[in-house]
Amino acid sequence: MNEENKEIVWEAPEFDQVEKGAGWYLVFGLIFLGLLIFGWLSKNFLFLIFIILSGLMIVAFSKRTPKEVRFKLDEDGFSINKMLYRFSDMSGFAVVERGSKTDLLVLRRNVVTNPYLKVPLVKDVTEEVRIFLKTKLKEGTYEETLVDTLIDFIGL
């Protein structure tokens, strides 16, 4: 932490990349095919369109490599690249330590839709970030949702 300016800066990949082998694509393909057959037999063409678009998006996301992102905490707030989130627009934070994976900083924003801002946190700065944020926001806990668990499980 820079004591004069009171800022913490780190860079991290935007997400943890999980290698997907042939088995992953085989299971995905079988599930995809099963859903397509179900949609066809039930004559639900809107469902078919949804499954096809979803399948294309999942394959596209599975092949993405993470970009390196710059994060900064300072007296003004929290920045991702150049986008600033002010502390006055937040109600709390939590740090989720995830073992061998990158830790996770979860900022609770004062908005109705998508109130959680989840940020990868390099282990070197985890404790420093926690100490800094305790002076600005209330520390709480974050329980991972079913969607979070499912995304981690399938490796997206």
Q: How confident is the model at residue 16 (pLDDT cuts 50, 70, 90)?
A: confident
Residue 140 included in any domain: yes
Q: How confident is the model at residue 150 (pLDDT cuts 50, 70, 90)?
A: confident
Q: Are 58 and 88 members of one domain?
A: no
> Which amino acid does the sequence have at 115?
P
pTM: 0.69
| DSSP one-letter code for 102 | P
Q: Are 57 and 84 members of one domain?
A: no
Average pLDDT for the chain:
85
Give phi and psi for 138, each to the nearest 5: -80, 130
Q: Are 59 and 87 members of one domain?
A: no
Q: How confident is the model at residue 58 (pLDDT cuts 50, 70, 90)?
A: confident
Q: Are 83 and 97 members of one domain?
A: yes
Q: Are 47 and 83 members of one domain?
A: no
The tokens describing 116, both together, are 């959680």
Over residues 59-101, the pLDDT tens digits come to 888 888 888 889 999 888 899 988 899 998 998 899 888 776 6
Give Cα separations from 50 to 28, 63, 98, 116 (angstroms). 16, 20, 33, 26
Quote the pLDDT of residue 46: 94
Q: Are 56 and 84 members of one domain?
A: no
Residue 1 included in any domain: no
Q: Are 134 and 150 members of one domain?
A: yes
Give the strands of the sheet with 77-80, arranged side by side.
8-13, 68-74, 77-80, 83-86
Quote the pLDDT of residue 2: 46
Q: How confident is the model at residue 143 (pLDDT cuts 50, 70, 90)?
A: confident
Residue 2 included in any domain: no
Q: Are 46 and 117 members of one domain?
A: no
Q: Are 28 and 73 members of one domain?
A: no
Q: How confident is the model at residue 136 (pLDDT cuts 50, 70, 90)?
A: confident
Residue 145 sits in a domain of what CATH number?
2.30.29.30
* Whole-number Å distance between alpha carbons of 132 and 141: 17
Residue 34 included in any domain: yes
Q: What range defines the domain where residue 28 resides?
A: 22-63
Q: Are 115 and 138 members of one domain?
A: yes
- Structurally, how many domains does the chain consist of? 2
Residue 85 included in any domain: yes
Contact status, residue 84 vs residue 78, Cβ threshold 8 Å? yes
